[in-house]
Each structure stands twice: as structure tokens, then as C-alpha cells.
């Protein structure tokens, strides 16, 4: 499959996806009862709902001190092009399960994790991920006794709540950088640009905060006044632009959404969107074919597809008898496979000649 690792030369990117286009947010940006609308409890009885009490002021130093010991710095490397990335993560278990953004580990051949609290270093394993919501779960082999993050409930977040974004800004390691801001939307839809591989992705249901989130904070914590994690930092809208009077915003995956992905990964059952375990790959770059199928734009030299005789321009129309109607459908089908599995592909050649090709899937990077 397309593993997203295009590029040339060495380098180290800071993990962050930048909002390219803002889509529609949740209607009126409101969650909960409509203010001023009566709640009817019986005939002739109307009780106006009480507005939720405002959260107490956030003590930046106290919240940072509570959250930082349960955070990690993440550094990745890609063998093919010599590139890497830096990001952040949140410790979920004392035995070393770490929550982060999928784009932090996308395309990585190696993932190195450093505990903020103790300075210990591990070579991490990617347990699974859902690229559609930009969440990944890592495991630190041999870890024990780690400080675990306190998780909140993102369903309880309200507009204007003050929050703290904490992460490895600048990718420098050391003490994480924290910045305060207020929640400005509970259900943002964004189109984000991955600064590492220039891919674009639509993300919905995001928490928006009025804060200058910066590169390297991806996968970091969005915490409330109690020091509870209510989101996973994912994207930013860029720098302050005085010419258009635009203030920077940050975006985070709600913790409730992130933990649904974590539970699916822990169940061991993959879905069309949630990948579990090592990533299988065909080793092809693909696009939608017309009128149907997944067109092979490039069969990468030395890949399973290349070894099986698949050629540029051919169209994959089925996998193990299941019709493939688009590039997305092929990615979803490979998503639930494992390396070393054998698949039978229905292939349509440029001249309209149909054939069946047997391919042993290889091991790829998280894609």
C-alpha cells in the first residue's frame, strides 16, 4: 500500500498538522440544553434549566506539574529517506501503553520514547491506530511503574472553559511547553495538512482552543483545571497574522473519541478504520480508477507487488473475491490484514485483460 513515505534527503520534522481549510463547526457551537428554553416537567409546569457553573480558574503551574510526569517525548525515524519526526505522548498504563497522534508515527520504521518524569528511554512498538481520527496506541516493552495520566470526560467540556495544552514544542525534549487557552468550539471540522509528508486529511468532532499550539506538541495533552486529560493535541491553524486579524487556534481529538479507538485496539479486533499490530503492505502507490477499482500508479521496486509482477497502470478490482471499487476500499481491505498473509488480487491490465495475482504481503510502516 501507499505508506506515505515520499521525500528525499535527511531531516527531522516536528509533528504537527496545520489546518489548511476550516469546515463547518457544530451548529452554533453549543452542547447541552438551549439557554432560556424551558424544561417541561408536567402540565402547567415549566422550570428554566440552571446554566452549568463556570469552571474554577486554571492554575497553569499546578496543572502542568500534575500532567508532565505522565507525558513522554516521541522521536521517530524513517530508514528509506532518512527522515524523522518529533512529537508527544500520554501514558495510559503503568506498564507502558502510550496514547499519541497517528501522524506522529506515520511512516516510522523506529519509534523512540523518552519519559518526561524519569528520563527513561524505550524503543516503542505501535499496537494499533486509526488514521481517520488521528489516534495511535504505543507500547513500551519492559516498562513498569510509570506515572499514569488522569483522564477526564470530554463530554463535560463547555465553551469558554480554560484549558492547558502541553507538549514537546520545538521537539527539543526536556520540560514540555505549556500554553493556556479557552475552548472556542466543541465540534470543529478541519482539513489539515501534514507538514511531514504534505498529505491532507479531514478531521471532524475536534475541540478548538484559542491557543498558539506549536510543532512538536502533537500527541500531547489538553488538560482541564483539575489536571485531567480532555483531549489529544493534533493540529494548529498557524501563527498570529495581524494583517488579517487572525489569532492562532489549536485543535485536539476529544479524549472520549481517543479512548474508543484505544479500547478497539485493546480488543484485538481490527475494523475498516482501526488497524491492529504490524502494518501489512502491498508496496504500491494508488489512486481511484475509472469507472471503478484502485489504479496502481507505482509498484515500488522490491515491494511485494513488484515481486508478484504487478505493473504501473494496472487496476486492482478485487481482493480475495471481494470487489474493490476505489483506492480507499483497497486501503481498508489491506488495513485488516497482517504481514506475511497471502492475498489473491483481481487485476485488470491496460488492454482490458483480466488476471489473478497472488501476493504475500510485506511489513510496512504505520500508514
- Give pLDDT tens digits for 155-201: 999 999 999 999 987 777 778 899 999 999 999 998 877 766 677 88
pLDDT at 9 over 80: no
228 alpha carbon, distance to own chain's centre: 20
Structurally, what CATH architecture does the domain formed by 60-139 represent? Answer: Beta Barrel (2.40)
Binned at pLDDT 50, 70 and 90, residue 15 comes out as low
pTM of the model: 0.80
**Which cell numbers in the block locate residue 222?**
489538553
The confidence score (pLDDT) of residue 28 equals 25
pLDDT at 10 over 80: no
- Give pLDDT tens digits for 270-299: 988 899 999 999 999 999 999 999 999 999
The confidence score (pLDDT) of residue 351 equals 83
How far is it, in rounded angstroms, from Cα 56 to Cα 142? Answer: 39
- Give pLDDT tens digits for 199-237: 788 899 999 999 988 878 999 999 999 999 999 999 888
The confidence score (pLDDT) of residue 21 equals 33
Q: Cβ(227)–Cβ(63) under 8 Å?
A: yes
Contacts 24+ apart (CB under 8 A), 244-250: 247/210, 248/211, 248/212, 248/213, 249/19, 249/184, 249/208, 249/209, 249/210, 249/211, 249/213, 250/165, 250/181, 250/208, 250/209, 250/211, 250/212, 250/213, 250/217, 250/222
The CATH topology of domain 278-363 is Pdz3 Domain (2.30.42)
**Which string of DSSP letters, residue by residue, matches 71-125?**
EEEEEEEETTTTEEEEEEEEE-STT-EEEE-HHHHTT-SEEEEEETTT--EEE-E
How far is it, in rounded angstroms, from Cα 273 to Cα 362? Answer: 20
The confidence score (pLDDT) of residue 55 equals 74
How far is it, in rounded angstroms, from Cα 18 to Cα 199? Answer: 11
Q: Does residue 248 or residue 17 have the better pLDDT?
A: 248
The boundaries of every CATH 2.30.42.10 domain in the chain are 278-363
- Give pLDDT tens digits for 65-103: 999 999 999 999 887 655 678 899 999 999 999 999 999
- Give pLDDT tens digits for 93-137: 999 999 999 999 998 989 999 999 899 999 999 999 999 999 999
- CA proximity to 71, closest of 89, 46, 95: 89
Q: What are phi and psi of 17, to 5 degrees?
A: -105, 135
The confidence score (pLDDT) of residue 237 equals 80
Pick the CATH number of 154-267 from 2.40.50.140, 1.10.10.10, 1.10.1060.10, 2.40.10.10: 2.40.10.10
Q: What are phi and psi of 107, to 5 degrees?
A: 75, 5
The confidence score (pLDDT) of residue 52 equals 64
How far is it, in rounded angstroms, from Cα 257 to Cα 230? Answer: 10
Share of the chain above pLDDT 90, in %: 65
Binned at pLDDT 50, 70 and 90, residue 44 comes out as very low
- Measured over the CA atoms of residue 354, residue 360, residue 362 and residue 366, the dihedral's sign is positive
How far is it, in rounded angstroms, from Cα 89 to Cα 101? Answer: 8
The confidence score (pLDDT) of residue 236 equals 85
Amino acid at each position: 500500500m501507499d505508506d506515505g513515505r515520499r521525500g528525499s534527503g535527511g531531516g527531522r520534522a516536528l509533528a504537527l498538522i496545520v489546518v489548511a481549510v476550516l469546515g463547518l463547526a457544530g451548529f452554533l457551537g453549543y452542547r447541552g440544553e438551549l439557554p432560556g428554553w424551558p424544561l417541561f416537567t408536567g402540565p402547567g409546569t415549566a422550570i428554566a434549566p440552571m446554566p452549568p457553573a463556570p469552571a474554577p480558574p486554571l492554575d497553569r503551574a499546578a496543572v502542568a506539574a500534575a500532567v508532565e510526569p505522565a507525558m513522554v517525548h516521541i522521536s521517530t525515524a524513517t530508514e528509506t529517506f532518512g527522515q524523522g519526526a518529533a512529537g508527544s505522548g500520554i501514558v495510559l498504563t503503568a506498564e507502558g501503553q502510550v496514547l499519541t497522534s497517528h501522524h506522529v508515527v506515520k511512516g516510522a520504521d523506529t519509534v523512540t520514547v523518552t519519559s518526561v518524569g524519569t528520563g527513561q528511554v524505550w524503543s516503542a512498538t505501535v499496537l494499533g491506530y486509526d488514521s481517520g481520527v488521528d489516534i495511535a496506541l504505543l507500547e513500551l516493552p519492559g516498562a513498569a511503574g510509570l506515572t499514569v495520566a488522569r483522564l477526564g470526560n470530554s463530554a463535560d467540556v463547555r465553551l469558554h472553559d480554560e484549558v492547558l495544552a502541553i507538549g514537546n514544542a520545538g521537539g527539543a525534549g526536556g520540560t514540555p511547553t505549556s500554553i493556556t487557552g479557552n475552548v472556542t468550539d466543541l465540534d470543529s471540522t478541519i482539513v489539515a495538512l501534514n507538514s511531514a509528508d504534505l498529505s491532507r486529511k479531514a478531521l471532524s468532532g475536534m475541540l478548538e482552543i484559542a491557543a498558539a499550539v506549536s510543532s512538536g506538541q502533537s500527541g500531547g495533552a489538553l488538560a482541564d483545571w483539575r489536571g485531567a486529560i480532555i483531549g489529544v493535541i493534533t493540529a494548529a491553524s498557524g501563527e498570529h497574522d495581524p494583517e488579517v486579524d487572525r489569532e492562532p487556534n489549536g485543535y485536539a481529538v476529544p479524549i472520549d473519541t481517543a479512548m474508543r479507538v484505544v479500547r478497539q485496539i485493546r480488543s484485538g479486533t481490527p475494523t475498516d478504520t482501526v488497524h491492529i499490530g504490524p502494518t501489512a503492505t502491498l508496496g504500491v502507490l494508488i489512486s481511484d480508477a475509472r469507472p471503478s477499482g484502485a489504479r496502481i500508479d507505482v509498484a515500488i521496486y522490491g515491494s511485494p507487488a513488484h515481486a508478484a509482477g504487478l505493473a504501473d497502470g494496472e487496476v486492482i478490482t478485487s481482493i480475495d473475491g471481494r470487489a474493490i471499487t476505489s483506492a480507499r476500499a483497497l486501503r481498508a481491505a489491506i488495513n485488516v490484514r497482517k504481514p506475511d498473509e497471502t492475498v489473491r488480487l483481481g487485476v485488470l491490465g491496460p488492454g482490458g485483460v483480466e488476471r489473478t495475482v497472488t501476493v504475500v504481503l510485506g511489513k510496512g510502516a504505520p500508514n
